[in-house]
C-alpha cells in the first residue's frame, strides 16, 4: 500500500507550552490533528477554571488563519484541588484532569503528593464526566526508574480503576509490557495512549554509542521486549489503545545539557511515524482506529468528519528549528528519514 486515507486524527496527549513557543507548536499540531488534549503542566500549572480559559485563548490566538484546531483543555490536579474546582473546570469546558505524581516529570513539583487523598475528587470527576489522565510512575527515590511504571500499577492504578468504575481513566504514554497487559485485561473504564517514540525506540536508542538527549523522555524508553509488547498492542487493533504523541518541546540548550529535560518534540512527524510503525507491522488497516476512532469513542466525543491522506514518500526532518525569537529546537527524528508523508490537501 502506497497511500492511505483516514478520518482526521486527534492527538490525545500534547504539550503546547506557552508564550512565544505557541507560534511554533500550535500550527505544527494543527497541520494534521483536528483536536488535542492539552497538557496543563505550565509554569505555573493550570489549576483552576480561569487559568484554563485564559490558556485556551492563548492557544487559539496562535492558530494561523485558515487552520482549524480545537484544544481540549485539562486541569492539573494537586492535593489542594477541591470538588468546586472540578465543577468550575467542567463548566469552563474541561474534558479531563491530569494526575502527575509530584516530581515524576517536567513541572510536576506542585502536583499530587498523596494520591489516595484525592479519592473524593475522583468521585466528583466521575459524577461530572471528566476523565482522569494519569502519568503512571511512582517517584520513590529507591525505586529504579525502569520499574516505576510497573510499580505504579500495583500500588495505585489497580485500586483506582476498580474502586471508581464510573471514572474513565487513561493510562498515559504506556511504556511496558506490564502496562499493555494491564490495560488489555482491564475493565471498560480503562484505556491508554502510546507515543511514537515508545513504538519506534527502546533504551538502546537512548544509551548505546553515547547519550542521545533528544530520545530522552519520561517515562524513559524501556528494553526492547517492552517495545515489542507495545507494538503488539497496537497491532492487535484493540480499541483500548489510541494515539497520544506526548510531543513535548524543550529548547535545544535545555535538552543538550548536563541535566537535560525530558521530552521529544514529535509534532513535525508524529502521524507519519505512526504510519511507518503500522506499515512495518503490516497493520496499516489498524491505523485509522488507533489515530481517529478509539480516542473520541473512549472520551465520548464525536469522531472527526474530515480526512487526511498519507503517501509512502521519503523525506528528511530538519536538524533543528529556529523559532521567531531566535531560540532553537531539535525535532524528534531530526536529520532522519521518514517513509510516510502527509499529502497536501
Which sequence positions are flagged as catalytic?
246
Per CB under 6 A, does 14 bind ligand DOR? no
Residue position matching grid coordinates 515508545: 198
Kindly list the distances between the CA atom of residue 97 and the CA atoms of 91, 137, 150, 170, 264, in Å, as whole numbers in the listed order: 13, 17, 22, 10, 22
CB of 134 to ligand DOR, least distance (A): 11
Residue 95 C-alpha cell reads as 474534558
Cell of 325: 525569537
Among 56, 90, 135, 255, binds ligand DOR (CB under 6 A): 135
Report CA 345 to chain centroid distance, whole Å. 26
Is the previous residue joined to 219 through a cis bond, with omega within 30 degrees of 0?
yes
How would you classify the pairing of strands 190-194 and 169-171?
Answer: parallel
For residues 28 and 308, which CB has a smaller minimum distance to Zn ion in the complex?
A: 28
Examine residue 263 and tell whether it contacts ligand DOR (CB under 6 A).
yes
Looking at the Cβ atoms of 26 and 289, the one nearer to ligand DOR is: 26
Binders of ligand DOR among residues 41 to 70 (CB under 6 A) are 41
The answer to whether the beta carbons of residues 342 and 31 sit under 8 Å apart is yes
- From 248, 287, 310, 321, residue interacting with ligand DOR (rule: CB under 6 A): 248
Name every residue whose Cβ is closer than 8 Å to that of residue 121 and which is 6 or more positions away in sequence.
77, 81, 82, 83, 86, 97
In the bound state with Zn ion, the residue whose beta carbon lies nearer, of 99 and 118, is: 99
Report the residue closest to Zn ion, judged by CB.
Answer: 246
Residue 106 touches which of Zn ion, ligand DOR, none (CB < 5 to 8 A by kind)? ligand DOR
Choose the one of Zn ion, ligand DOR, none that binds residue 41, judging by a C-beta under 5 to 8 angstroms depending on kind: ligand DOR
* Per-residue binding letters, 157-196, with ligand DOR (x by CB under 6 A): ----------------------------------------
Total of residues contacting ligand DOR (CB under 6 A): 11
Nearest of 318, 276, 310 to residue 4 by alpha carbon: 310
8 Å CB contact between 259 and 210: no
Closer by beta carbon to ligand DOR, 143 or else 311: 143
214 backbone dihedrals φ, ψ, rounded to 5°: -80, -5
Is residue 151 exposed (0-12), middle (13-18) or buried (19+ Cβ within 10 Å)? middle
Q: Is 15 in the site for ligand DOR (CB under 6 A)?
A: yes
Per-position x/- string for 86-105, each x denoting binding to ligand DOR as judged by CB under 6 A, each - no binding: -------------------x
Nearer to ligand DOR, 143 or 262 (CB): 262
Residues of this chain that bind ligand DOR (CB under 6 A): 15, 41, 105-106, 135, 217-218, 246, 248, 262-263
Residues of this chain that bind Zn ion (CB under 5 A): 246
Amino acid at each position: 500500500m502506497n497511500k492511505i486515507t483516514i478520518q482526521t486524527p486527534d492527538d490525545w496527549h500534547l504539550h503546547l507550552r506557552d508564550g512565544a513557543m505557541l507560534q511554533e507548536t500550535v500550527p505544527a499540531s494543527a497541520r494534521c490533528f483536528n483536536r488535542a488534549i492539552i497538557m496543563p503542566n505550565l509554569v505555573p500549572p493550570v489549576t483552576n477554571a480561569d487559568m484554563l480559559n485564559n490558556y485556551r485563548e492563548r492557544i487559539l490566538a496562535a492558530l494561523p488563519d485558515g487552520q482549524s484546531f480545537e484544544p481540549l483543555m485539562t486541569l492539573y490536579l494537586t492535593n489542594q484541588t477541591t470538588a468546586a474546582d472540578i465543577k468550575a473546570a467542567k463548566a469552563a469546558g474541561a474534558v479531563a484532569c491530569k494526575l502527575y505524581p509530584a516530581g515524576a516529570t517536567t513541572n510536576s513539583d506542585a502536583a499530587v503528593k498523596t494520591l489516595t487523598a484525592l479519592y473524593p475528587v475522583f468521585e466528583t470527576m466521575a459524577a461530572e464526566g471528566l476523565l482522569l489522565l494519569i502519568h503512571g510512575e511512582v517517584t520513590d527515590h529507591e525505586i529504579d526508574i525502569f520499574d516505576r511504571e510497573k510499580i505504579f500499577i500495583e500500588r495505585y492504578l489497580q485500586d483506582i480503576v476498580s474502586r471508581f468504575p464510573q471514572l474513565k481513566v487513561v493510562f498515559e504514554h504506556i511504556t511496558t509490557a506490564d502496562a499493555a497487559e494491564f490495560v488489555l485485561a482491564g475493565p471498560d473504564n480503562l484505556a491508554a495512549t502510546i507515543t511514537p517514540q515508545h513504538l519506534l525506540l527502546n533504551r538502546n536508542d537512548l544509551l548505546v554509542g553515547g547519550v542521545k538527549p533528544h530520545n530522552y523522555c519520561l517515562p524513559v524508553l524501556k528494553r526492547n521486549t517492552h517495545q515489542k509488547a507495545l507494538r503488539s498492542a497496537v497491532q492487535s487493533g484493540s480499541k483500548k489503545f489510541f494515539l497520544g504523541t506526548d510531543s513535548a518541546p524543550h529548547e535545544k540548550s535545555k535538552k543538550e545539557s548536563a541535566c537535560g529535560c525530558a521530552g521529544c518534540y514529535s509534532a513535525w512527524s508524529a502521524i507519519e511515524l505512526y504510519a511507518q510503525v503500522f506499515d512495518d507491522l503490516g497493520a496499516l488497516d489498524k491505523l485509522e482506529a488507533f489515530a481517529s476512532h478509539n480516542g473520541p469513542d473512549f472520551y465520548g466525543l464525536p469522531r472527526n468528519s474530515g480526512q487526511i491522506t498519507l503517501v509512502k514518500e521519503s523525506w528528511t526532518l530538519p536538524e533543528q528549528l529556529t523559532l521567531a525569537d531566535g531560540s532553537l529546537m531539535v525535532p524528534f527524528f531530526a536529520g532522519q528519514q521518514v517513509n510516510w508523508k502527509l499529502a497536501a490537501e
